[in-house]
Amino acid sequence: MFDLHVHSVFSDGELLPSEILRRMQNKGILGCAITDHADFTNISTLISQLSKLREHAEFYDIEFLIGVELTHIPPKLISKAVELSWREGAEIVIVHGETIVEPVAEGTNLAAIESETSVLAHPGLIKEKEVELAAENGVCLEISSRRGHCLTNGHVAKMATELGADLVFGSDSHAPSDILSPEEIRKVSFGCGAGEVVLKNTEKLFRKLRREI
Protein backbone atom coordinates (compact mmCIF):
# COMPACT_ATOMS: atom_id res chain seq x y z
CA MET A 1 0.00 0.00 0.00
CA PHE A 2 1.21 3.52 -0.83
CA ASP A 3 0.53 7.10 0.31
CA LEU A 4 1.30 9.98 -2.07
CA HIS A 5 0.67 12.99 0.20
CA VAL A 6 2.49 13.51 3.51
CA HIS A 7 3.78 16.62 5.32
CA SER A 8 6.86 16.98 7.52
CA VAL A 9 8.24 19.67 9.84
CA PHE A 10 9.53 21.44 6.76
CA SER A 11 6.01 22.83 6.32
CA ASP A 12 3.16 22.33 8.80
CA GLY A 13 3.67 18.69 9.74
CA GLU A 14 4.76 17.43 13.14
CA LEU A 15 7.33 14.80 12.15
CA LEU A 16 10.85 14.77 10.82
CA PRO A 17 11.17 12.97 7.47
CA SER A 18 12.95 10.01 9.10
CA GLU A 19 10.14 9.61 11.63
CA ILE A 20 7.56 9.75 8.85
CA LEU A 21 9.32 6.92 7.06
CA ARG A 22 9.65 4.84 10.22
CA ARG A 23 6.03 5.31 11.26
CA MET A 24 4.80 4.56 7.74
CA GLN A 25 6.89 1.40 7.59
CA ASN A 26 5.66 0.34 11.02
CA LYS A 27 2.04 0.73 9.84
CA GLY A 28 2.71 -1.58 6.89
CA ILE A 29 3.00 1.07 4.16
CA LEU A 30 5.39 0.10 1.35
CA GLY A 31 6.07 3.56 -0.01
CA CYS A 32 5.16 7.20 0.56
CA ALA A 33 5.76 10.66 -0.85
CA ILE A 34 6.84 13.56 1.36
CA THR A 35 5.16 16.55 -0.24
CA ASP A 36 5.46 19.64 1.91
CA HIS A 37 3.58 22.86 1.21
CA ALA A 38 5.51 25.00 -1.24
CA ASP A 39 5.41 28.23 -3.22
CA PHE A 40 8.07 30.34 -4.91
CA THR A 41 9.63 31.27 -1.56
CA ASN A 42 10.66 27.75 -0.58
CA ILE A 43 10.48 25.34 -3.55
CA SER A 44 14.24 25.21 -4.02
CA THR A 45 15.14 25.03 -0.33
CA LEU A 46 12.48 22.45 0.44
CA ILE A 47 13.50 20.04 -2.30
CA SER A 48 17.18 20.50 -1.45
CA GLN A 49 16.58 19.71 2.23
CA LEU A 50 14.33 16.71 1.64
CA SER A 51 16.62 15.32 -1.07
CA LYS A 52 19.29 14.69 1.56
CA LEU A 53 17.25 11.60 2.43
CA ARG A 54 18.07 10.18 -0.99
CA GLU A 55 21.76 9.98 0.02
CA HIS A 56 20.83 7.42 2.70
CA ALA A 57 17.86 5.70 1.05
CA GLU A 58 19.41 2.24 1.37
CA PHE A 59 19.12 2.42 5.17
CA TYR A 60 15.37 3.00 5.25
CA ASP A 61 13.04 0.00 5.12
CA ILE A 62 10.52 1.83 2.95
CA GLU A 63 10.55 3.38 -0.49
CA PHE A 64 9.89 7.11 -0.75
CA LEU A 65 9.52 10.04 -3.11
CA ILE A 66 10.59 13.63 -2.46
CA GLY A 67 8.21 16.28 -3.67
CA VAL A 68 6.09 19.34 -3.03
CA GLU A 69 2.47 20.32 -2.67
CA LEU A 70 2.14 23.66 -4.44
CA THR A 71 -0.27 25.53 -2.18
CA HIS A 72 -2.45 28.63 -2.68
CA ILE A 73 -0.45 29.81 -5.68
CA PRO A 74 -2.38 32.11 -8.04
CA PRO A 75 -3.72 29.99 -10.92
CA LYS A 76 -1.81 31.95 -13.57
CA LEU A 77 1.46 31.07 -11.80
CA ILE A 78 0.85 27.38 -11.17
CA SER A 79 2.43 26.16 -14.41
CA LYS A 80 5.56 28.20 -13.66
CA ALA A 81 5.73 26.74 -10.13
CA VAL A 82 5.31 23.21 -11.45
CA GLU A 83 8.12 23.72 -13.97
CA LEU A 84 10.40 25.12 -11.26
CA SER A 85 9.66 22.17 -8.97
CA TRP A 86 10.63 19.63 -11.61
CA ARG A 87 13.73 21.63 -12.50
CA GLU A 88 14.83 21.74 -8.85
CA GLY A 89 14.66 17.95 -8.63
CA ALA A 90 11.21 17.09 -7.31
CA GLU A 91 10.32 13.42 -7.79
CA ILE A 92 6.58 14.10 -7.50
CA VAL A 93 4.65 17.36 -7.82
CA ILE A 94 1.12 17.75 -6.49
CA VAL A 95 -1.07 20.83 -6.43
CA HIS A 96 -3.36 21.83 -3.55
CA GLY A 97 -6.77 21.66 -5.21
CA GLU A 98 -10.03 23.51 -4.63
CA THR A 99 -11.07 21.80 -1.41
CA ILE A 100 -14.36 23.07 -0.01
CA VAL A 101 -12.83 23.78 3.41
CA GLU A 102 -10.21 26.36 2.36
CA PRO A 103 -10.36 29.57 0.30
CA VAL A 104 -8.48 28.17 -2.69
CA ALA A 105 -8.61 30.48 -5.70
CA GLU A 106 -11.12 29.53 -8.36
CA GLY A 107 -9.31 28.22 -11.41
CA THR A 108 -6.67 26.36 -9.40
CA ASN A 109 -7.96 22.93 -10.44
CA LEU A 110 -7.93 23.80 -14.13
CA ALA A 111 -4.50 25.45 -13.99
CA ALA A 112 -3.03 22.41 -12.22
CA ILE A 113 -4.51 19.98 -14.73
CA GLU A 114 -3.19 22.06 -17.62
CA SER A 115 0.34 21.93 -16.16
CA GLU A 116 2.65 18.91 -15.85
CA THR A 117 1.67 18.10 -12.28
CA SER A 118 1.44 14.50 -11.06
CA VAL A 119 -1.59 14.74 -8.77
CA LEU A 120 -4.35 17.24 -8.09
CA ALA A 121 -4.92 16.94 -4.33
CA HIS A 122 -8.42 17.11 -2.80
CA PRO A 123 -10.05 18.76 -5.84
CA GLY A 124 -13.35 19.45 -4.09
CA LEU A 125 -16.39 19.88 -6.32
CA ILE A 126 -14.34 19.46 -9.47
CA LYS A 127 -16.13 20.21 -12.74
CA GLU A 128 -16.83 17.74 -15.51
CA LYS A 129 -14.64 19.50 -18.07
CA GLU A 130 -11.75 19.49 -15.59
CA VAL A 131 -12.08 15.75 -14.97
CA GLU A 132 -12.18 15.12 -18.72
CA LEU A 133 -8.99 17.16 -19.16
CA ALA A 134 -7.32 15.34 -16.25
CA ALA A 135 -8.04 12.04 -18.00
CA GLU A 136 -6.62 13.41 -21.25
CA ASN A 137 -3.49 14.89 -19.63
CA GLY A 138 -2.77 11.97 -17.30
CA VAL A 139 -3.20 14.01 -14.12
CA CYS A 140 -4.37 11.87 -11.20
CA LEU A 141 -7.11 13.04 -8.83
CA GLU A 142 -6.71 12.43 -5.12
CA ILE A 143 -8.97 10.54 -2.76
CA SER A 144 -8.08 12.02 0.62
CA SER A 145 -8.44 10.79 4.19
CA ARG A 146 -7.83 14.28 5.60
CA ARG A 147 -10.71 15.69 7.63
CA GLY A 148 -12.62 18.28 5.65
CA HIS A 149 -10.93 17.47 2.36
CA CYS A 150 -12.48 14.00 2.39
CA LEU A 151 -16.04 15.39 2.33
CA THR A 152 -16.07 15.49 -1.47
CA ASN A 153 -14.40 12.10 -2.04
CA GLY A 154 -17.70 10.65 -3.27
CA HIS A 155 -18.11 13.38 -5.89
CA VAL A 156 -14.50 13.05 -7.06
CA ALA A 157 -14.75 9.26 -7.28
CA LYS A 158 -18.03 9.35 -9.20
CA MET A 159 -16.81 11.93 -11.72
CA ALA A 160 -13.47 10.21 -12.27
CA THR A 161 -15.09 6.80 -12.70
CA GLU A 162 -17.58 8.13 -15.24
CA LEU A 163 -15.07 10.22 -17.21
CA GLY A 164 -11.97 8.02 -17.09
CA ALA A 165 -9.60 9.97 -14.84
CA ASP A 166 -7.21 8.07 -12.57
CA LEU A 167 -7.78 8.19 -8.82
CA VAL A 168 -4.95 7.86 -6.29
CA PHE A 169 -4.73 7.94 -2.50
CA GLY A 170 -3.15 10.61 -0.33
CA SER A 171 -3.60 10.86 3.43
CA ASP A 172 -2.46 14.49 3.61
CA SER A 173 -0.88 13.38 6.87
CA HIS A 174 0.40 16.09 9.21
CA ALA A 175 0.69 14.11 12.46
CA PRO A 176 1.24 10.54 13.70
CA SER A 177 -2.50 10.06 14.12
CA ASP A 178 -3.06 10.83 10.42
CA ILE A 179 -0.97 7.89 9.21
CA LEU A 180 -3.25 5.11 8.03
CA SER A 181 -2.71 1.37 7.88
CA PRO A 182 -3.34 -0.51 4.61
CA GLU A 183 -6.71 -1.68 5.92
CA GLU A 184 -7.72 1.87 6.80
CA ILE A 185 -6.69 3.11 3.36
CA ARG A 186 -8.76 0.36 1.81
CA LYS A 187 -11.78 1.48 3.83
CA VAL A 188 -11.39 5.07 2.62
CA SER A 189 -11.20 3.91 -0.99
CA PHE A 190 -14.16 1.57 -0.81
CA GLY A 191 -16.12 3.98 1.37
CA CYS A 192 -16.21 6.63 -1.36
CA GLY A 193 -17.23 4.09 -3.99
CA ALA A 194 -13.91 3.95 -5.82
CA GLY A 195 -12.83 0.51 -4.62
CA GLU A 196 -9.67 -1.32 -5.54
CA VAL A 197 -8.82 0.94 -8.48
CA VAL A 198 -7.48 3.67 -6.18
CA LEU A 199 -5.02 1.28 -4.56
CA LYS A 200 -3.82 -0.04 -7.92
CA ASN A 201 -3.45 3.42 -9.45
CA THR A 202 -1.54 4.71 -6.44
CA GLU A 203 1.00 1.91 -6.65
CA LYS A 204 1.23 2.29 -10.42
CA LEU A 205 2.04 6.00 -10.20
CA PHE A 206 4.48 5.49 -7.33
CA ARG A 207 6.35 2.78 -9.26
CA LYS A 208 6.44 4.93 -12.41
CA LEU A 209 7.91 7.91 -10.59
CA ARG A 210 10.44 5.75 -8.75
CA ARG A 211 11.71 4.34 -12.06
CA GLU A 212 12.28 7.88 -13.32
CA ILE A 213 14.60 8.82 -10.44
Q: Whole-number mean pLDDT of the chain?
A: 97
How do residues 60-116 score in pLDDT, each as one tens digit?
A: 999 999 999 999 999 999 999 999 999 999 999 999 999 999 999 999 999 999 998
Q: Residue 127 — very low, low, confident or very high, per pLDDT cuts 50/70/90?
A: very high
How do residues 193-207 score in pLDDT, each as one tens digit?
A: 999 999 999 999 999
Q: SS3 for the chain, per residue?
A: CEEEEECCCCCCCCCCHHHHHHHHHHHCCCEEEEEEEECCCCHHHHHHHHHHHHHHHHHCCCEEEEEEEECCCCHHHHHHHHHHHHHCCCCEEEEECCCCCCCCCCCHHHHHHHCCCCEEECCCCCCHHHHHHHHHHCCEEEEECCCCHHHHHHHHHHHHHHHCCCEEEECCECCHHHCCCHHHHHHHHHHCCCCHHHHHHHHHHHHHHHHCC
**Residue 168: predicted pLDDT:** 98
The CA-atom distances, in angstroms, between 23 and each of 60, 169, 184 are 11, 18, 15
**Residue 213: predicted pLDDT:** 83
Stretch 1-28: mean pLDDT:
98
Name all domains of the chain by residue range, CATH numbers in brackets: 2-211 (3.20.20.140)
Stretch 115-126: mean pLDDT:
97
**Residue 53: predicted pLDDT:** 95
**Residue 52: predicted pLDDT:** 94
Q: Could you give the count of Cα atoms lying within 13 Å of 101 in the half-sphere of its Cβ?
A: 10
Stretch 134-144: mean pLDDT:
98
% of the chain at pLDDT higher than 90 = 99
**Residue 199: predicted pLDDT:** 97
**Residue 23: predicted pLDDT:** 98
- Is the whole-model pTM more than 0.85? yes
Stretch 46-63: mean pLDDT:
95
Asked whether the beta carbons of 180 and 188 are under 8 A apart, the reply is yes
What are 33's strand-pairing partners?
65
